[in-house]
Amino acid sequence: MLVSIIVPVFNEEKTIATVLHELSVLRIPETEFEIIVVNDGSSDATQSEINSVKSKIKRLKVIEHKENMGKGAAIQTALKSAKGEYVLIQDADLEYNPSDISVLLKPIVTKQAEVVFGTRLRRFPNFSRDERTPTFFLHYLGNRLLSFATSVLYGQWVTDMETGYKLLPRPFLTKIRLNAKSFDFEPEITAKILKRGYRICEIPITTNPRDHTAGKKLVASKDGPVALLTLLKYRFTD
């Protein structure tokens, strides 16, 4: 089985080379990978860091946006080049650990699921680590609220709608129209998965949360309401 790992990246010069290296050394039985990295108009040394490892990684495709267009737009660009039976989104900031990919793939390989989400929220708040600051706790509450809204609107219990780790069949992605250009990709794709009758298999994962001082792009006060409106929109439209 070929899996296309899409890495949208914007101004992640400190982590992108490490992420690409960790993806390149993944070894999972009966599975091959292609890596498609989309540099979404970075203004730092991200492209140089990508270039420094490009020749060392087999099946790495590099695409560059001349200007920043948003995470959703970068994913849409990468999908045009993807050849895998499945597509996995990998953020470039090392919040998500590539070693979890083997766990996410297990229900696919054993044919127990067609769609897999890596959930960070099948637990209570962890005030000593993940929710160690008021900002992180706010993100936790916001994600729980959005996931609850998703469950109510679409009739399937989901604990982490906003997760960046989504493993999806490529034929599904080629048949739908994606409109999201930014972080509204997460609620849009989740809504369209559920409306088409897929059951989401959620697998617990661990993350290394970072705040805005470390480069986090998502802003809860801005992106949270947009996500909720997106969920409402696609409940009644396509």
pLDDT tens track for 160-171: 999 999 999 999
**Closest CA relative to residue 216, chosen from 191, 183, 177, 190:** 183
Task: With cut-offs at 50, 70 and 90, classify the pLDDT of residue 50.
Answer: very high
| Nearest-10 crossing angle of helices 134-154, 185-195 | 30
pTM of the model: 0.90
pLDDT value of position 74:
96
Is the pLDDT confidence value at 217 over 60?
A: no
Host domain of residue 205? 2-236
Enumerate residues 6+ apart whose C-beta is below 8 A from 128. Answer: none
**What is the predicted pLDDT for the residue at 166?**
96
- For range 115-129, the mean pLDDT: 85
Mean pLDDT of all residues belonging to the chain: 91
Residues 6+ apart with CB under 8 A from 232: 153
CATH number of domain containing 148: 3.90.550.10
Kindly report the backbone phi and psi dihedral angles of residue 219, in degrees, each rounded to the nearest multiple of 5, phi listed first: -115, 115
Tally of domains in the chain: 1
Does the pLDDT value for residue 220 go beyond 80? no
- Residue 212 reports pLDDT greater than 90: no
Identify the DSSP state of 207: B
234 and 190 Cβ atoms separated by less than 8 Å: no
Q: Which residue has the higher pLDDT, 206 or 91?
A: 91
Question: What number is the average pLDDT over the span 16-22?
Answer: 96
Which of residues 206 and 12 earns the better pLDDT score? 12
Question: Would you say residue 221 has pLDDT above 70?
Answer: no
Give the residue among 111, 97, 85, 73 at the shortest CA–CA distance from 19: 97
> How crowded is residue 63: how many other Cβ atoms within 10 Å of its Cβ?
16
Q: Quick check: 132 pLDDT over 70?
A: yes
**CB 75 within 8 Å of CB 8:** yes
Residue 219: pLDDT over 90: no
* Statement: residue 185 has pLDDT above 70: yes
Output 144 or 208, whichever has higher pLDDT: 144
